[in-house]
Amino acid sequence: MKEEIKKEERSLNFLEEIIEQDLKSGKNKQIVTRFPPEPNGYLHIGHATSICLNFGLTKKYGGYTNLRFDDTNPVTEETEYVESIKDDVRWLGFEWKHELYASDYFGKLYEMAVTLIQKGLAYVDDSSSEEIAAQKGTPTHPGHRNKYAERSVEENLRLFAEMKAGKYTDGEKVLRAKIDMASPNMIMRDPLLYRIKHAHHHRTGSIWCIYPMYDMAHGQSDSIENITHSICTLEFVPHRELYDWCIEKLDIFPSRQYEFARRNMTYTVMSKRKLLQLVGDRHVTGWDDPRMPTITGMRRRGYTAASIREFCDRVGIAKRENMVDVGLLEFFVREDLNKLALRRMVIFDPLKIIITNFPDRTEWLPSENNPEDPNGGTREIPFSRELYIERDDFMEIPSKKYFRLAPGKMVRLKSAYIITCDVVLKDNDGKITEVHCSYIPESRSGQDESGIQVKGTLHWVSIPQAIPAELRLYDRLFKVEDPGSEAGDFKDYINPDSLQVIRTAWAEPALQQAVFEDRFQFIRKGYFCLDRDSSENRLIFNRTVGLKDSWKAPINKENG
């Protein structure tokens, strides 16, 4: 019985366990987390994991999550990114309690630095960055202090004030914590706290010319906001010692840092630097290129927010390095889209069919919008003498398990009639130009009295009413699972066929009414959405993901 109860519950991840303990022990009355992006790039699927984690935790346990921009480096940060990040978080379906900026705390952080100086725990160093690096030692050899570490509190106070006042040039002086130059943790070897940058800041303008480093800003900001659980990725593990040191020495609210492993995914790259290169070198059309692992790219490609959330929740988090198969992400989109996508018929590569015994008129046939949705309703689709089917849905000499059209064989046209192939017409090169078929009038969909059972059902469009559309078929951006770990430049592994454009596909007329919010399943082909490049008289669809395809063509490779 105990086992049955256990099965019902989803097991807790390590952060949920910590939180439940903290709540139970009374250490925290409510949970406060933050999502702390640096506004210097666009959010990607890895950030989505962090967003879902941070917001999900406070939603589950009560409390709230702040959106805090970690904007302590004015030279790389821009307002453009702030807006895109807010837009992406909102689109994902989360609401932050407060919109905050580390730059909001520049005054307080300055005061904290002064406090450290007064306690003899920080000093102004005139060394160059090269000198500081050299004095730092190596992981296996301790570093050593220089003469600047001996400066008096008064002198440090004066110099730091002068740094703030703009008396010195960039790089001339820095403020360092006075901790331990022999620490086995390199981060603790008198880390830099403040540096001089005469640069325009996207929010504070030119008020400041000194800016705090990450370690002087992040934990302190957490503390100011009473963040209870400060969740970050594994590369910050060594920083935790310094994070705790600052909190202890400054005697401020004890936020605690916890680390989880960042999310990696096959056939893509996730680092901002690499993503920026792809955009900068024009390997993709922009941050929102549907092949990008960015939130905005995935959104344009047709991914739903719900599917991304589901992906993040069900893949889970832990502390070990991971490489999630992109197929898992695709599974969650298909799962969501299958429930809500409107079924439509589109011919990618047309083959003309003449129904020789069908009169010269148009018959409108109802077809369900979504077999998974009982309330989905139907639409009318035109049927006529001249139709298009997919070229690869016909084979002159069919292989054994070919269910589709072939000479003398019967197939059902989806929502219409059963047809038989009678004659195949070819041009001088032997290419099939046209196939003549006859239909079985009693086999009309929904009122079939023919009694004929066919193995295959094809999608089709009526030529006179067909509307042209451009299709953009996306494939993985890279040819290898982990481009970052391959020899040479990761860009050498870009998949040259990651975008296949079909200039003119033929769509059923209902697609003329497509709007951006619509999600479609082009029957037997895949899930599609309208691209924002579309215009009044030009429809462009992005393939979000193909349908799962268990059909293996025996001879010719096929089915894009």
Partner RNA sequence: UGACCUAUGGUGUAAUGGUAACACAACUGAUUUUGGUUCAGUCGUUUAUGGUUCGAAUCCAUAUAGGUCAACCA
Site for RNA in 15-74 (CB under 7 A): 17, 36, 38, 70, 72-73
DSSP character string of 70-126: ----TTT--HHHHHHHHHHHHHHT---S-EEEGGGGHHHHHHHHHHHHHTT-EEEE-
Distance CA 348, CA 392 (A): 10
**318/423 with CB nearer RNA:** 318
Binding-site string for RNA from residue 71 to residue 110, where x marks contact by CB under 7 A and - marks none: -xx--x----------------------------------
Q: Which stretch binds RNA (CB under 7 A): 10-18, 112-120, 429-437, 461-469?
A: 10-18
Q: Which two three-digit tokens encode residue 394?
A: 């016909």
How far is residue 283's CA from residue 401's CA, in Å, rounded to a whole number?
A: 41
> Does the protein bind RNA through residue 276 (CB under 7 A)?
no
Which of these is catalytic: 272, 274, 352, 479? 272
Does residue 519 belong to the site contacting RNA (CB under 7 A)?
Answer: no
Q: Which of 38, 155, 241, 558 is catalytic?
A: 38
Q: Give min distance, CB of 137 to RNA, in A.
A: 7
Q: Which of 26, 205, 371, 408 binds RNA (CB under 7 A)?
A: 371
- 144 belongs to the binding site for RNA (CB under 7 A): no
Q: Is 262 a residue of the active site?
A: yes
Answer for which of 64, 91, 214, 253 binds RNA (CB under 7 A) is 214
Whether the CB-CB separation of 513 and 519 falls below 8 Å is answered with: no
Cα(15)–Cα(452) distance, integer angstroms: 59
168 binds RNA (CB under 7 A): no
CA–chain centroid gap for 26, Å, is 37
- Cα–chain-centroid distance for residue 468? 30
Q: Between residues 215 and 289, which has the closer beta carbon with respect to RNA?
A: 215
> Measured between alpha carbons, how far is 498 from 266 in angstroms, rounded to an integer?
14
Give the whole-angstrom CA distance, residue 240 versus residue 247.
11
Site string for RNA, 451-470 (x = CB under 7 A): -----xx-x-----------
* Region of 236-244, 376-384, 507-515, 533-541 interacting with RNA (CB under 7 A): 236-244
Contact range with RNA by CB under 7 A, out of 129-137, 200-208, 286-294, 469-477: 129-137
Which position among 164, 240, 262, 263 bears the catalytic label? 262
Distance CA 452, CA 410 (A): 9
Give me the least distance between CB of 509 and RNA, in Å please.
19
Residue 351 near residue 421, CB atoms below 8 Å: no
Closest to 37 (Cα-Cα) out of 274, 250, 209, 294: 294
CB of 318 to RNA, least distance (A): 4
- Give CA separation, 340 vs 413, 517, 527, in Å: 23, 11, 11
523/529 with CB nearer RNA: 523
Helix (H) or strand (E) holding 473: strand 467-474
Residue 258 binds RNA, judged by CB under 7 A: no
Active site residue 172: no
Binding-site member from 318, 423, 425, 452 for RNA (CB under 7 A): 318
Considering only 43, 159, 177, 196, the residue that binds RNA (CB under 7 A) is: 196
* Residue 272 annotated to the active site: yes
User: How far from the centroid of its chain's Cα atoms is residue 19's Cα?
Assistant: 27
Handedness of CA 283, 288, 294, 300 (dihedral sign): negative
In the bound state with RNA, the residue whose beta carbon lies nearer, of 72 and 289, is 72
Stretch that binds RNA, among 82-90, 287-295, 296-304, 440-448 (CB under 7 A): 440-448
Say whether residue 401 binds RNA (CB under 7 A): yes
Is residue 364 near RNA by the rule CB under 7 A? Answer: no
- Residue 124's DSSP bridge partners are 175
Q: Which of 234, 423, 425, 452 binds RNA (CB under 7 A)?
A: 234
Q: How far is CA 467 from CA 314, 367, 461, 470, in A?
A: 40, 18, 9, 10
Among all residues, which ones are annotated catalytic?
38, 262, 272
